[in-house]
Structure 1
Amino acid sequence: MDWSHGRSASSTPSAWAQSWSASSRSVWPSPHRSAAVCENRARWRLRARPVRRCSRSNGAGGYTRWTVWVWARLPLLCAVVLVAACGGTPAAEHAASPVAKVGAQLITQAAFAIRLQSTLVAIGQAGGPSNNTAMTTTVRASVLRSLILDTIIAQEAAAQGLAATDAQVQSEVDTEAAQAGGMSQLQSELAGAGGSIAQLRDEIRSQMNEQRLEDHFARGRAATVEQALAGGEAFAQAAMQYSDDTGTNGKGGDLGAITTTELKADDPKFAAAVTALAVGGYTKTAVRDAGGYDVIQVYAKTATSRSVRHILIAAPLPYTVRNRPAWFSEALFATVAQDCQRGAIHVYVKDAGADPCSGAPNLSPAPASASPAGG
């Protein structure tokens, strides 16, 4: 399936898709990384807003990447859980026994336990109740769905040659350890936050797979935009159809007049592209900047400003599930629905909620797998 095109909203009913969206993992920026990487002008939301910066704690009790993650994922994964009482830690189960299968890929009890522990820690850190079994099934169902989503993303990443390798994941762990003062120090910091190296690896792998896959299909979608413009489609019309900037796509991508001073403070790649364009021109290749892949047009110019339209295909750096663009979500949930339709998703545990495929839309005939546009 070509994820760069997404699916229409009607293909994934809101109630069913929402049950999966609430299970989504959120990916976190590392506090160990440089402030420059963490600075992200959320231009696809509102250009006039100030730069959003990542904070960092340097004290003895400083947070780790994992601590940031459990807090970031809480609104997505546990919001429904915190409405009522949250379940306690389940009894020990066989680590190697599968809890589910997606295609030929097993989701083991060990993987489930790692993700479940992460969720329970997040709930506890948010002040949720402990040792209460009333919502255990709800928590386990959310965790199971998040693992199924990540498995589907990993399978698609592997099909595109983008899947994170063990060596790449370990390299990230080693970087975290070096910046924490050593592996023992990192383990201590994680343990102090209720986490572990295994949980860190789980989230690094999930983050890498989704970010790479989303970026891959965002490039394909940007190429589709360029093809449409080259074929004569009006820039404003293309912006309304394709742009992920919800603040401007309804206005044909119009960012208004940007002064020379404002450009100097903007993303350097974006600013350079705007400066180089003649009036009426647009970038023939999308500009990769902090927000994603930008197709930019200058429609007017004065001595002190340039009036700009843009079409943003979101692929923000750093990437988080919160910034997952609608077309990518639609494609992801459509793939889940197709796997349900094909009988490719099997759940072997009885205490993780209702069948996750219950209520899945019928997308028959399921589209055949295809290379991404522009890929």
Structure 2
Amino acid sequence: MNYAFTHEFAAQADEADPLRSYRERFHIPQHNGEDTVYFTGNSLGLQPKSAREVIDQELNDWAKYGVEGHFEAKHPWFSYHEMFAGPLSKIVGAKETEVAAMNGLTTNLHLLMVSFYRPEGSRYKILCEGKAFPSDQYALQSQVEFHGYDADDAIIELYPREGEHTIRTEDVLAKIEEHRDEIALIMIGGVNYYTGQVWDMKTITKAGHVAGAMVGWDLAHAAGNIPLQLHDWDVDFAAWCSYKYMNSGPGSVSGVFVHEKHCTDKDIKRFAGWWGHNKDERFKMEKRFDPMPTAEAWQLSNAPVFAMAPHKASLDIFSELDMSKLRTKSEKLTGYLEFVVDQISANSENVNFEIITPRDMNQRGCQLSILCHGQGKALFDHLSKNGVIADWREPNVIRIAPVPLYNSFEDVYRFGKILEEAV
């Protein structure tokens, strides 16, 4: 695509965009009576306009049926979570039996690590990225300490080479080989929240298995953002949130993936709950836990219907699309953003914008992280005051993510003009 930093180019690109109509299905926050340039779908996706109707449906069914809504509601609450298996399996590249919607992200990571972090003898260490998202850091630290290990010893962290911002796959593989007899678990964020780097999940998973380790992924910034093939990559487990690229509302329900080879293992250690029990026998209230042969076996409780309703609204939209179509637009849209930022940086004497997200499209999703050399938070504040909703990370990084479902090329152009004015 031959980019140009002009309004004419942006307008023509939007006109040719086959997904342009999806923008109309989301509420865009306003600034001085106009749409904001909303580039924080990597933190909280926008609200589908259908969300209110979906929530109202459940409220109305609650009023109409009371407890009988578990079986009489339009979408019976007893099996409410089951409707998510189909769309989620397509988004993450799994079989329907390998996915389930439940709980929150960190809760699910803990539940999954009960099963997949099983330290024994000299194999007790966890390999993760350095400066992982804090919740992941705390989860890993508490898991190793729960098993009686010292976190400084039991957690192996990966860092970029000196002078680089992202981690090379070859360095990950070398670290796995170095500690091949010590690693019990590899757990990394599939897309790094800070840099936007996409990890080579297929290659790393294979190397981890060769070394004898379990491999899991936190896909908070990956699910709904990039194409995934968790089943084919032979990933052991994964978890993600739904409030970022899947637009399901603040703190909305998480999702999990458990490979079928583990789903059918009834003897695997886990924390059990009623809703993970064989649903055909569930109401017999028997004493012994009989796990379902699916990812649902890791469920503890019945579905939080009102929290899941917005998730349904978003997944109904995703069900109309193939991830490859979203990916095609994402590459063009983020490529245009990269072009615009480079143009402004090259033409300015006062600022140097360094994009620390990989330039290789195969190593990034929607997000670009921009290191603003010579600039402080005043630059970010100027963007905010002029209708750009982005994300600031100390000391001087701006994270921006043009989401293909609702962002446009004109959004990128408008952002560029505001940024140009600021510098």
TM range (shorter): under 0.3
TM-score relative to the length of structure 1 = 0.25
TM-score relative to the length of structure 2 = 0.23
The structure whose residues are more often helix, as a share, is 1
